[in-house]
Amino acid sequence: MIDPTRRPGDPMAGPPAPDVQVFVISVAAELTGMHPQTLRTYDRLGLVTPGRSGGGGRRYSLHDLDALRAVARLTAEGLGLEGVRRVLQLEQQVLALRERVADLEAELAARLAADALGPPTSSPNLPVPASRRTGQVVVWRRS
């Protein structure tokens, strides 16, 4: 989201937020050291998907510029564009999984804190602590 108090010409405004699409293709090409046609090709292949202006022109964000640099680095290391696409997909999947793990850890911490403050709830869906027997984990649930 664009900060409504930020003026485009204000030198004290600082850089735009990472997901704000502000750079036209020529500027994005210059900032990444790539040819504009290369950026168009990467867009067509779905490696980097910039936003569009009202007139249909491509608009790149700082996040898009980082993705373009990652594509350049991976291709320089010898990966083909399909390999690059798969690496970028896997990196996105890893980020999503890390966020999910963090959410689950926070939920677990909240439940443990709630259990420490009072008697356990009688909800049948909440697991009781697991016990170990002969190398296996057995989860007991209240019925």
65-116: per-residue pLDDT in tens? 999 999 999 999 999 999 999 999 999 999 999 999 999 999 999 999 888 8
Q: How far lies 98's CA from each of 55, 94, 103, 104, in Å?
A: 37, 6, 9, 10
List, for residues 11-41, the tens digit of each pLDDT value.
Answer: 566 778 888 888 999 999 999 999 999 999 9
Structural domains of the chain in order of their starting residue, each with its CATH number: 23-108 (1.10.1660.10)
Q: Give the CA distances from residue 124 to residues 56, 107, 142, in Å, rounded to whole numbers and listed in that order.
A: 54, 17, 5
